[in-house]
Structure 1
Amino acid sequence: MGKGTLLYAQSGGVTAVINATASAVIQAARAKKVKVLAARNGILGALREDLVDTSKETAAAIRALAHTPGGAFGSCRYKLKSPEQDAAKYRRLLEVLKAHDVRWFLYNGGNDSADTSLKLSRMAAESGYDLTCIGVPKTVDNDLVVTDTCPGFGSAAKYTAVSVAEAALDVAAMADTSTKVFVYEVMGRHAGWLAAAAGLAGQGRDEAPQVILFPEVAYDEAKFLARVAEVVKRVGWCVVVVSEGLRHADGRFVADAGGGTDAFGHSQLGGVGPAIAATVKDRLGLKVHWTVPDYLQRSARHLASKTDLAQAQAVGAKAVEYALKGMNGVMPVIVRTSDSPYRWKIEPAPLEKIANAEKKMPKSFIDRSGYGITGACRRYLQPLVRGEAPPPFRPDGLPAYVRLRLVPVARKLAPFG
């Protein structure tokens, strides 16, 4: 094994278990006596030479990361363009990596992060610098291709299904004299995986959620309202789950806020849940309540899936293994080998097949009505939310989450930009 340091960074929206991956990365590297630096706020930390020395953290603190939500080292939404367009930034990255003898770079994120890892690996190879880049999967949207599922999704799916089931009991109790329709908005800009996960809350057609609005199915307002009215007449109340990425037939987002795009080129969405709730209230005259869980979906570590936690840790450990073997430009992905009993393993996949690609819900996972999930979808989802992995709790009743010391590494270069 060659000498050098390993640089780890987190990217994009964090998850309930992304720190479990970080914990596994650091522990696996320590076992091989490899020093791990962490970039503060993702790739921006590397550009700014804003690095953290994880060797200053105790073994207990690193273990505690596994049950702590958020992004311990800070994350960012920042997309590097091509090496031709962003040449100065790629040169700066290489300067920082060389200055700190970084020989292994692990970027923990989604599609765009896989693309960044791929571009950096190619740039390093062209410059003659010995660098191994590994993409590490993470996203609550479950939209990475090749991998069967994404670490982070199982816990968000569990939180969603449980929240919908609990809210439905509340709505059913009050429906006679109060709320008739409850609208629950989930994350999912282009793929309806979290919306589908809400379907686990009920079994029969009368159990919530009775209506799921997927981004893969064009929104038909008249058809939707007719469906809600029919459910309320039959059941007495109705729970609607809507994906933030719900679109009209012409491709426009139902909740496009008209606020431009973010660093990844994504439209700023303005809250489809309230919009759908207002439509039901105005057109059907029913009392409606709505909720937008937003960050709660991806930070609910107290309700994490045991399966998801195990997979988040497994990809972290494998990422270190692949890196130290010099397996450049790959990602450790989850391969399902059996549905019943549920079994899985980790295998390497080339970043070329993953970067900037997007996995949407198969048509076979959405039922004929367009408002529910099929048995095939249920079989896919159920193992991913299985098992409990609660954090330890303090005497005051709150979770015992950890905050790292985050001791900075001394800068060796001039400030960038």
Structure 2
Amino acid sequence: MPKKNAFYAQSGGVTAVINASACGVIETARQHSDSIGKVYAGHNGIIGALREDMIDTSHESDATIAALRHTPSGAFGSCRYKLKSLEENRAEYERLIEVFKAHDIGYFFYNGGGDSADTCLKVSQLSEKMGYPIQAIHIPKTVDNDLPFTDNCPGFGSVAKYVAVSTKEASLDVASMCESSTKVFILEVMGRHAGWIAAAGALAADSAGEPPHIILFPEVPFNEKEFLALVDKTVKEKGYCVIVASEGAQYNDGTLIAGSAHTDAFGHKQLGGVAPTLAALIKHELGYKYHWALADYLQRSARHIASATDVEQAYAVGKAAVEYALAGKNSVMVTIERHNGNGYRWELGEAPLDQVANIEKKMPSDFISRDGFGITQLARDYLSPLIAGEDYPPYKNGIPQYAKLAKVVVAKKLNTPFDI
């Protein structure tokens, strides 16, 4: 049976370790050159396939591909482009199959979150119906840690580490100045519907009572009166108050504390502004001087402080995706499975894509403290191993050195441009 080429693409918000998954895919494919031809990467994610705009990774040296393991962001470009349902726009999926067929692509590795899992599933299903079967394997990635069936998601551990470290360092700063200056500090972190990232801020504390003093989760309805009372109590008792707030924090009726009327390409409401909104509320109601910070892209691109656990797992799921495809598996997502018992041990598994797509995993209620403003020991036990270890990139003149790709474009074989 003649060997087929592979297509790899990155989707959604990138992470500090998504390129480690790309490294795992490409290096493993090269080790199986008797079964897999070339690995083509979509330029700007799935858009690259639709436009027949692909990068031939065979032109990248082994050293450059290896350097992807310690390079943040999406080396081949990502996108926020959600394919519609088959019923709404079958042409998009038919175009993908047409491009894959023209370039003799038999393997589809899609590296992303829930929306990409859905795309991966539909491509697999339609390719069968069109008589050109493609083995589609989803590679999990999301800083939000909200994919089902997998214990955790590559990308999350490094964000969690960044948030925990930033919370600890900022807390020391505020504590040193609280006598005559700032009383309240608020760090706004990512997390649309799930509070995993905000919860990680709690790892800054070595013992009870240490900052962060308050965490706001999307899963817990915001009670303004209780929040202000706790801020006031904390400042009076400790001299200052440190807050970690999820961008998706909301009132009991689902109204966001802060949110834009605009939506992104996935139809998600544009978030941001929780920290300044809370700061203004505290200033107006309590009169305390404040400072706030927005972690934003810094939290997901901070490869210099990546979790060693996260890097290892990100590479492993990319490697496994290729191995699963070669073993004949199809329409599955690679999962990380935690072992029970003492010590942290994990292995890889799989989950069927028809059960993964468009499902969000939120924080369990027993991970959130009874008052709704902190985490339990169960949550701490879950989170701590995920931020463990350091995996520093190489430095030159004090600056991290990251992979620089040649990005040689694959020659087009179709004469039909495709508008998106």
TM-score by length of 1: 0.98
Aligned partner of 1:149: which letter? N
Residues 184 and 291 in structure 1, CA contact (< 8 A), matched pair in contact too:
yes
Residues 210 and 231 in structure 1, CA contact (< 8 A), matched pair in contact too:
yes
Per-residue deviation at 1:339? 5.2
Partner of 2:54: 51
Partner of 1:405: 406
> Are the structure 2 counterparts of residues 339 and 301 from structure 1 closer, same or farther at C-alpha, using a change threshold of 3 Å?
farther
Alignment root-mean-square deviation, CA: 0.9
Distance 2:266 2:382 in 1: 29
Distance 1:189 1:89 in 2: 28
1:174 aligns with 2:163: no
1:101 aligns with 2:104: yes
Secondary structure at the residue paired with 2:310?
helix
Aligned partner of 2:412: which letter? R
Stretches of structure 2 that go unaligned for 5 or more consecutive residues are: none
Alignment of 1:135-150 (within 5 A): 135-150=138-153
1:374 aligns with 2:370: no
Per-residue CA deviations over 1:342-373 (Å, capped at 9, x if unaligned) read 00000111111110000000000000111000
Alignment of 1:153-164 (within 5 A): 153-164=156-167
Distance 2:17 2:100 in 1: 27
Distance 1:250 1:203 in 2: 35
Per-residue deviation at 1:130? 2.1
Per-residue deviation at 1:91? 1.2
Alignment of 1:13-412 (within 5 A): 13-33=13-33, 34=36, 35-259=38-262, 261-338=263-340, 340-394=342-396, 396-412=397-413
Aligned partner of 2:85: which letter? S
Aligned partner of 2:175: which letter? A
Aligned partner of 2:183: which letter? K
Q: Runs in 1 of length 4+ with deviation above 2 angstroms?
A: 203-206
Secondary structure at the residue paired with 1:124?
helix
Residues 338 and 344 in structure 1, CA contact (< 8 A), matched pair in contact too:
no
Residues 124 and 133 in structure 2, CA contact (< 8 A), matched pair in contact too:
no
Residues 339 and 379 in structure 1, CA contact (< 8 A), matched pair in contact too:
no
Residues 118 and 353 in structure 2, CA contact (< 8 A), matched pair in contact too:
yes
Secondary structure at the residue paired with 2:335?
strand
Per-residue deviation at 1:204? 3.4
Aligned partner of 1:68: which letter? T
Distance 1:286 1:348 in 2: 50
Per-residue deviation at 1:206? 2.4
Distance 2:120 2:341 in 1: 32
Secondary structure at the residue paired with 1:338?
coil
Partner of 2:6: 6
Per-residue CA deviations over 1:155-181 (Å, capped at 9, x if unaligned) read 000000000000000000000011000
Secondary structure at the residue paired with 1:117?
helix
Percent identical pairs in the alignment equals: 59
Residues 190 and 215 in structure 1, CA contact (< 8 A), matched pair in contact too:
yes
Stretches of structure 1 that go unaligned for 5 or more consecutive residues are: none
Point out the more displaced range, 203-212 or 313-322.
203-212
Per-residue deviation at 1:263? 1.5
Count residues in correspondence: 415
Per-residue CA deviations over 1:98-135 (Å, capped at 9, x if unaligned) read 01000000000000000000011001011111210011
Residues 146 and 194 in structure 2, CA contact (< 8 A), matched pair in contact too:
yes
Secondary structure at the residue paired with 2:312?
helix
Secondary structure at the residue paired with 2:123?
helix
Secondary structure at the residue paired with 1:189?
coil
Secondary structure at the residue paired with 1:183?
strand
Distance 1:399 1:320 in 2: 29
